[in-house]
Structure 1
Amino acid sequence: MGGPPVSDVRVTDLYDTLPAQVCDRIDALGREHWRRGHAGVPRPADSWCPTRPLLLDADAYALVGAVADRAAGLVLDACLRRVSTAGELLDALSMARTQFPLLDPAEPLTERLLTSIRADVMVERGVPRVVELNIDGAIGGAIEADLVARQFQEVYSGAPGGQDPSGWPLRTPPSAVDAFFTELVSFLGLSEGDCLVVPVFREDGLDHLADLDDFISFLAPMAERGKAHGITVTGYPLDGLTLDDGRRLRAGEHVAHGVFRLFLPVEQAGAGLDALGGALRAGTARMYTPEATSPVSDKRVLAWIWEDLDLLDPADRDFVRRHVPYTVIAGAGALGRDRSSLVLKPGDGYGGAGVTLGRSVEREVWRERLVAAAASGDHVLQQVVDGDLVTFEFAHDTTGEIRSAAVPCVLGPMMYGRRLSGIYVRHAGPRPGDLINTHQGAASNSVLIVDSPTAGR
């Protein structure tokens, strides 16, 4: 997407800049139809749902994507200054190759690996800042980003598929699911009629991944969009995958030409994973994405960017200082630093697991965790980003009670082929919490674009 983004654009929710009659329509329809707006989006029981999406103007929307893309390019550059292949990257990060059973150690580190990106972006005083960078086909959010944006826009327009009222200032971003399929089909070289298998699996703690039939149902919108791209998409239990005599991967009656991987292979050992690995090694199936994308996402690479700051050109140095919070590999030397401004994160963790916010724990707990992290060498310390607060109304999933709360947001720009297609938004609800993660009860949301905001109500 080019060089560093222009820095004078501010990312801010524009609800309060809209005309009063537009806000009144958003509020009234959101309170009445919030369930329709969130239909098909997994959420735990006893949760709070926002009654409207986040509202950004086109420049702010584009800036979030440009920041994510540039950060991804700098991450790849930082890797390439040290190594050239996926296996060498594992060695540089002291990661055991057994953690990545489907990884080809000879896979070269090229821009091809940046096919699917979702940064975790927090906005601080209007400036988007990349706190994590997820580079992998298994990033979540495309379905949710599309559903919430489209369904709320349908609520506002009066009917499914209806046209927006004349002068209505909100529109949906490009479809993340369509962008995903366009990139995936190209990346895998799929042809008309080819079968893409999505292996499904169980994951405790997420209701929609705990039952395989529910998981397959959750993928239904993806299967429908696959048809529009000329391919057959089928969800099938990972444990049931087999190899035939030609070492082709089979999902029941289907022969897989491609596989969309939504899981971490090391967590899903078994005969199905062995069959998938056999097909990949035989070249009879291709996978989106190769497992080589996973170590490129390690948060220690953000620390490498800061280590290399003097090696970057002036524009990139300015970009890092502005858009990437200071990040270092956790070491004992940090024991004397003010913990209230720091967060400790495992380099290859996800779902908020193992994350410790310094200001949320006692001094001795912080010291113990920091000493352990320094000994293992696989954690980072990052400057805390104090996200700007956005006020939403929330509806309780069970009672329907409406509450208002000002909450920080995490923006997840969905980048396929290094182009922005929708933003998956997560934020806290009326219940306070330290971490904004759907594994820990955060609400899923999306973005609508404001075409012509009118200042003042």
Structure 2
Amino acid sequence: MTDLWHQLPEATRKALVARGSESWQRVYDGVATHNKEWRPLRPPIMAAATYRSLTDISATVARLILAACLRRATTAGELRRALGLPVGYIDLLDEELPLTEELLGGVRADILLADGTPYVVEANIDSALGGAHDSDGVARRFLDAYAGDPVLDEVGLAAPPSAVDARYEAVRAALKLTESDRLAMVFTTGGTYPGSQDGLAMIKVLEPFSDRGRELGLDMRVYPVEWLTLDDAGRLCVDDGPIDAVLRMFVPQGMKPSDGLQALHTAVRMGAVRMFTHTASWLLASKTIFAWLWEDLPLLSGEDAEVVRRHVPRTEVLSADLRDEAMTDQNHLVLKPSGSYGGVGVVVGPEVTPQTWQDAVDAALVEGCYILQAYVEVDRLTMQFVEIATGDTHEAAVPFCIAPYLFAGTPCGAYLRFTVPGAGPVVNVGQGALTSGLLLVP
């Protein structure tokens, strides 16, 4: 993927940048970002065969994650205990829920490339996989900007199947929705998504998402979890009345208690509402399970073991016995909290001083539930950017992460994140990384 830009004909590259220079403001209008200085002038471009390979790897790793959990637990409560997590760490968790493939309803693996080899460094498994609406939209709007350009028409650029649509179809199937069922996509006003603290504003921002659900035949609306209520009959309600089903779009970890969250918990427990997905899905996103994959290599088939060795960085649960090794191998390791997301708490060994690394490892040993993962020296992606303040165009080779979606096992879309000129190595939206969709060439 990193070399594809340079493999395109010069006329194609010039046309892509020219069209992007004309359209980037329209393409990124309404896209959530913390970055106020830079915008990309084009989306990343990948060969369709490479995309299929990445989604195959993602599906295999997700299957192996569930299998590793089933070797240690049969219910959500047993898995929570095996992961060393306290009661209440996962919100709304049904401790008696059996572990089944239904928990893999949504998967978004974070993939880094090193010398062209894909490495799954994290696997987000949940219904609340962000970025689908934005990445779908960016890819579609760039394609619209290219329409009618004879140079670009010859390339055959196309977007992957829509992640928004695939999630809706997964929800419809999993919850057995009929035309009479009223569905709400429920988000939190306490999250880190830019602008999400304003519930009314977010309802308006997400209206196109809701519109698409209605186009697909769903009686659809969006609503903050904090505003949910129960009526006298125990039905879960939004502003226009009772609902039958919930598409949960908040991460069920560390939620601020609220009457709305309690209402949802009561409705789910009493069977008054169906929810996609059970919050037990988020247990499968624990990075500790990557260490289990490596522990279980002797139990895997030759083919599955090769996927782990080749595409999952070696991972171990941090313990006092590993402290000396962690100090010695600092430049080859990354320290990560097992249960966090969004880059919180991640320390990249080669990027910090020995003292900072030692302090981080020692603090992690006290806190518990951390992993050590082999450092992946990522390939760079050549991208073109506009500096918003000046309108100047810059080209830079930047670290990037590709995260293809799987909803109910169906490959769809991809959430691309990359740093900007002059930024550090951590590809994190909260630290100023930009997002995009993906376009494919035959």
* Bucket of the pairwise TM-score, normalised by the shorter protein: over 0.9
Do structure 1's residue 246 and structure 2's residue 228 form an aligned pair?
no
Partner of 2:202: 215
Instruction: Give the SS at the match of 2:262.
Output: helix
Partner of 1:284: 272
Partner of 1:134: 124
Do structure 1's residue 380 and structure 2's residue 371 form an aligned pair?
yes
Cα contact 1:195–1:254 (8 A) shared by 2: no
Shift of 1:12: 4.0
Distance of 1:399 and 1:202 partners within structure 2 = 34
Distance 1:222-1:410 versus aligned 2 partners, 3 A rule: same
Partner of 1:308: 296
Distance of 2:388 and 2:274 partners within structure 1 = 40
Instruction: Give the SS at the match of 2:310.
Output: helix
Distance of 1:197 and 1:140 partners within structure 2 = 16
Distance of 2:196 and 2:227 partners within structure 1 = 16
Do structure 1's residue 190 and structure 2's residue 187 form an aligned pair?
no
Deviates more, 1:432-441 or 1:59-68: 432-441
Distance of 1:197 and 1:167 partners within structure 2 = 42
Cα contact 2:398–2:419 (8 A) shared by 1: yes
For this pair of structures, how many residues does the alignment match?
438
- Counterpart AA for 2:6: D
- Counterpart AA for 2:158: R
- Aligned-pair identity in percent equals 38
Do structure 1's residue 228 and structure 2's residue 215 form an aligned pair?
yes
Distance of 1:372 and 1:24 partners within structure 2 = 50
Shift of 1:165: 6.5
Which of the numbers 386, 392, 396 marks the counterpart of 2:383? 392
Structure-1-length-normalised TM-score: 0.92
Partner of 1:23: 13
TM alignment of 1:2-151, pairs within 5 A = 11-151=1-141
Shift of 1:431: 2.7
Which of the numbers 321, 327, 335 marks the counterpart of 2:309? 321
Distance of 2:242 and 2:3 partners within structure 1 = 47
- Counterpart AA for 2:214: K
Distance 1:366-1:415 versus aligned 2 partners, 3 A rule: same
Residues 386-436 of structure 1: per-residue CA shift (max 9 Å, x gap): 111111111123432221110121001011111211111001011321311
Do structure 1's residue 439 and structure 2's residue 430 form an aligned pair?
yes
Partner of 2:395: 404
Instruction: Give the SS at the match of 1:278.
Output: helix
Cα contact 2:186–2:225 (8 A) shared by 1: yes
Shift of 1:282: 1.1
Instruction: Give the SS at the match of 1:408.
Output: strand
Distance of 2:24 and 2:148 partners within structure 1 = 14
Cα contact 1:46–1:398 (8 A) shared by 2: no
Shift of 1:285: 0.4
Cα contact 1:146–1:176 (8 A) shared by 2: yes
Distance of 1:423 and 1:258 partners within structure 2 = 26
Residues 77-111 of structure 1: per-residue CA shift (max 9 Å, x gap): 11111111110000111111212231111111111
**Structure 1: 5+ residue stretches without partners:** 1-10, 452-457
Distance 1:317-1:445 versus aligned 2 partners, 3 A rule: same
- Counterpart AA for 1:231: L
- Aligned alpha-carbon RMSD (Å): 1.8
Cα contact 2:15–2:151 (8 A) shared by 1: no
**4+ residue stretches of structure 1 with deviation over 4 A?**
163-166
- Counterpart AA for 2:240: E
- Counterpart AA for 2:166: A
Distance of 2:109 and 2:191 partners within structure 1 = 25
Shift of 1:353: 0.8
Distance of 2:30 and 2:407 partners within structure 1 = 23
Partner of 1:4: none
Residues 184-226 of structure 1: per-residue CA shift (max 9 Å, x gap): 1111111114222223332465432132223212312210111
Deviates more, 1:249-258 or 1:70-79: 249-258
Partner of 2:154: 167
**Structure 2: 5+ residue stretches without partners:** none
Cα contact 2:2–2:382 (8 A) shared by 1: no
Cα contact 2:147–2:153 (8 A) shared by 1: no
Distance 1:69-1:321 versus aligned 2 partners, 3 A rule: same
Which of the numbers 332, 343, 361 marks the counterpart of 2:352? 361
Distance of 1:62 and 1:419 partners within structure 2 = 11
Distance 1:141-1:204 versus aligned 2 partners, 3 A rule: closer
Cα contact 2:399–2:425 (8 A) shared by 1: no
Deviates more, 1:421-430 or 1:227-236: 227-236
Distance of 1:234 and 1:14 partners within structure 2 = 40
Distance of 2:318 and 2:203 partners within structure 1 = 40
Instruction: Give the SS at the match of 1:69.
Output: helix
- Counterpart AA for 1:289: T
Shift of 1:172: 1.3
Shift of 1:47: 3.0
Shift of 1:361: 2.2
Do structure 1's residue 331 and structure 2's residue 319 form an aligned pair?
yes
Distance of 1:428 and 1:139 partners within structure 2 = 20
Structure-2-length-normalised TM-score: 0.95
Deviates more, 1:192-201 or 1:308-317: 192-201
Cα contact 1:345–1:355 (8 A) shared by 2: yes
Instruction: Give the SS at the match of 2:196.
Output: helix
Do structure 1's residue 346 and structure 2's residue 333 form an aligned pair?
no
- Counterpart AA for 1:188: L
Distance 1:183-1:358 versus aligned 2 partners, 3 A rule: same
Cα contact 1:407–1:427 (8 A) shared by 2: yes
- Counterpart AA for 2:398: V
Distance of 2:183 and 2:266 partners within structure 1 = 17
